[in-house]
Amino acid sequence: MRVYISADMEGVAGITAWEQVETIGGVEYARSQRLMTAEVNAAIRGALEAGATSVTVNDAHGRMRNIPPEDLHPGAQLISGTPKKLGMMEGIDRGFAVACFIGYHARAGSHGVLAHTYSDVVHRLEVNGQEMGELGLNALLAGYFGVPVVLVSGDQVLAGEVRKILEGVEAVIVKEAVNFHAARSLPPRLAREKIRLGLVRALSRKSFQPLAAPAPATVTIKFNDPARAAAAAILPRSRFLDAATVTYTGADYLEAYQAARSLITLAKSS
């Protein structure tokens, strides 16, 4: 059984501020690297205890060089660095039995800790009319490859998203969002143990269903100002819905997913 882990940072227990998740944060960021790595290692331990034959971890936060390779559990392999063709889901393929999302956060516009969708330039993102955050977008990509998501960790707002999108998925709550920059977190050791046990429990069920990826797939992004949207609309085959909203329809979800990432990258360049 091959297990895939996509690891973000904002949803890790104890993290509530941007300076904790960006390299300019110095000591704060270095502490967050350790916290993130420890939660990932807990997931790896749970996967191996449940019978995983291999574990692949994709560092999916920021510049995607957050997990020190020497600190990763030796039972896993690490994908790090950027750019990556599939971004937060680099390395996913049809050979994986399951996927797990560790340290994830809620979508833009929600009440979750550091809630956003890929970038602060995005106000709202939809796939075929359904609002999505990184959780949904990445779960759909896993589904495109026939891989079910079995566990997600983060705050209670993220857990609410999970229940609306992914039936039967283990949602491990490691902190309760108070607001965008405040949370009541579990002690890190307890959060890690919840993740480990959650993954053992999830994998013991042996019956998983991947999220169905739509085809064709239309991604619609409302940006936080018209200048951002104008830059995004440079992408061929994209079109404006209004001054701040750009849409793109792909023949399948993989095309739409890559287009969404391209639209956001272009918007950030303006």
The ranges assigned to domains in the chain are 2-204, 217-269
- Rounded to an integer, the average pLDDT of 190-217 is 94
Cβ atoms within 10 Å, residue 260: 27
Please give the CATH topology (third level) of the domain spanning 217-269. Answer: Gyrase A; domain 2 (3.30.1360)
Catalytic residue among 73, 111, 116, 181: 116
* Position 183 pLDDT exceeds 80: yes
Q: Is the pTM of this model over 0.95?
A: yes
- Rounded to an integer, the average pLDDT of 111-135 is 97
* Position 253 pLDDT exceeds 90: yes
pLDDT band at residue 2 using 50, 70 and 90 as cut-offs: very high
pLDDT (tens digit, 9 = 90+) per residue, 143-154?
A: 999 999 999 999
* Position 179 pLDDT exceeds 80: yes
- Rounded to an integer, the average pLDDT of 71-87 is 97
Percent of the chain with pLDDT over 70: 100
Q: Which residues are annotated as a binding site?
A: 8, 10, 61, 105, 134
Q: Average pLDDT of the chain?
A: 97
Active site residue 73: no
Report the candidate in 198, 230, 165 with the shortest Cα–Cα distance to residue 49.
198
Q: Report the pLDDT value the prediction gives residue 166, as an integer from 0 to 100.
A: 93
Alpha carbon 187 to its chain centroid, in Å, reads 22
Q: Report the pLDDT value the prediction gives residue 269, as an integer from 0 to 100.
A: 92
Q: Which residues are annotated as a binding site for Zn(2+)?
A: 8, 10, 61, 105, 134
Q: Bridge partners of 125?
A: 221
Percent of the chain with pLDDT over 90: 97
Please give the CATH topology (third level) of the domain spanning 2-204. Answer: Rossmann fold (3.40.50)
* Position 206 pLDDT exceeds 80: no
The residues, ordered by sequence, that sit 6+ positions from 36 with a Cβ below 8 Å of its Cβ are 7, 9, 12, 61, 66, 67, 103
Q: Report the pLDDT value the prediction gives residue 208, as an integer from 0 to 100.
A: 85
Q: What are phi and psi of 179, to 5 degrees?
A: -160, -165
Q: Which residue has the tokens 């750009």?
A: 246
Distance CA 122, CA 224 (A): 6
